[in-house]
Amino acid sequence: MNGPTLRIRRVGIDTWRENVAYLHRDCPVVRAAGFQALAKVTVHANGTTIVAVLNVVDDAHIVEPRELGLSEDAFARLQVAEGHAATVGHAEPPASIAALHRKIAGERLSRDDFFAVMRDVAAARYSKIELAAFVVATNQFELDRDEVLHLTEAMIGVGRRIDWQREVGRGPVVDKHCIGGIPGNRTSMLVVPIVTAHGMWCPKTSSRAITSPAGTADTMEMLADVELPLERLQQIVRSTRGCLAWGGTADLSPADDILISVERPLAIDSPGQMVASILSKKIAAGSTHLLIDIPVGPTAKVRHHQDALRLRKLFEFVGDSLGLHLEVVLTDGSQPIGRGIGPVLEARDVLAVLDNDPMAPADLREKALLLAGHILEFDPPVRGGAGVALAREILESGRAAAKLRAIIAAQGANPDPPALGSLRHEVPAPVDGIVTAIDNFQIARIARLAGAPMDQGAGVELHRKLGDSVRQGETLYAIYARFPADYRFARALAGQDTGYAIAEPLSGQSRGAGNWRVPVRNLAPGK
């Protein structure tokens, strides 16, 4: 059934969460079985079977006719040595493919359907094409609240789950998450040390960036190891009461990590997928109490107050159904938070706040204190309304900084933190005026074109925020990059649209009150 035996060759290609096999066009298996490129095949070796997408090559330097090439993901999943014998056969479609087709047609899926799909996703039985179809279908035909609940349950069910009850007893295990869309919003790296310095348990697992220039895991990686196996993560939390880790290596909601690998290049983050992704990760990590931050603004992920309220209700429905104590806060998403956008720059902002540097970004500091205050009030002895003051005392006393240093040491400090990109370009203000709007999406796009987050030292450093006065030629922000091509792309995009709106003085009039042109947009309401 499987045909001739082939020698495994590790081709050293990163296919990012997809098993890929490589066969030479003259391979007897290709000729006998009629394999074509992008066909799905089974690979059998040493009692293990994986499903892979086939690539057919003509270059014997990549793979010879009697060899089977495997991508890094496929090689790791198969767990055999290079040169080991393997056989290749035709792959049957995933058992859940019928459910996928029904979703593509706009039908509602059942709980059993979602469990079947997530099992196949977690087992790497879906190709990137099939994963993309699922992501697009669930975005195009928006999931209803029961479907979101079932998807969340399925994501939890196919991964590992931590239970902290033995260590914590009846006490809360807390976490927070921001839905994203606001560049520089690196509050988790401040909230975690504040609440753990108080004595609360906060096993913070974060995703890497999907559509942003940096996620919490990307920024924390500037300071410490974030790729922690589950057992080590548990040890760290038991010793420090907290962590700031990437959830991907802990095998918590692995199906979600695979879906994110497709959502990232598609720049799709639909409400249903987002809620399921966030809550599955938090529940799998053992959280009992969760704070959700939804920034609202004209260029945020959520642009209207009513949309934010609907999203809050969806979070609350799924959280309540799964026994999670959940609180949702709506915050100001009208502009980036802090000054740095990109891993190195954002880490610098976080450390400045923790060190109580008077030049640290005040907006990042105050938002972190607000969120930490909400979480501290999950602790029964902390009276309602007292959380922010307590958070401020913990920060100003240096206890939060000491706690982050302890977490960094436990996770393993980064011995060689990356430097800021050596290529720097200042974007000037085109006119005198007042900054009346900042486009979050455009600023994030510029930072990503500069290379962030893959190039950790790339990004954007803001020099002006909403309400600031600026003279023509003064710097609005600086772009940092390491590679000339990224530098050129980012400069070109900023040249087309700076992402800033500046109100100009009316002709012939002074800068007095009422002598400014109407701002280009109003800020959406927050809470």
Residues facing 67 on adjacent strands: 7
Tokens standing for 24?
Answer: 């030479």
- Catalytic residue (one of 73, 120, 175, 269): 269
Give the rounded distance of the alpha carbon of 303 from its chain centre.
20
Are residues 6 and 33 in contact, defined by beta-carbon separation less than 8 angstroms? no
Tell me, what DSSP letter sits at residue 248?
Answer: G
Rounded to whole angstroms, the Cα distance separating 522 from 203 reads 38
Nearest to 445 by CA among 336, 371, 287: 336
Full DSSP string of 290-353: EEEEEEE-TTSSB-SHHHHHHHHHHHHHHHHHTT-EEEEEEEE-SS-SSSEESHHHHHHHHHHH
Residues facing 48 on adjacent strands: 45
Rounded to whole angstroms, the Cα distance separating 235 from 85 reads 38
Are residues 69 and 22 in contact, defined by beta-carbon separation less than 8 angstroms? yes
Tokens standing for 283?
Answer: 């529940």
Nearest to 13 by CA among 93, 69, 79: 69
- Look up 357 and say whether it is catalytic: no
Tell me the residue length of the chain.
527
Nearest to 415 by CA among 233, 227, 225: 225
Residue type, 295: P
Residue 193, Ramachandran bin (φ over 0: left; ψ between -120 and 50: alpha; else beta): alpha
C-alpha separations of 51 from 44, 82, 159, 218 in Å = 9, 18, 19, 30
C-alpha separations of 56 from 59, 65, 476 in Å = 9, 11, 50
- The residues that are catalytic are 269
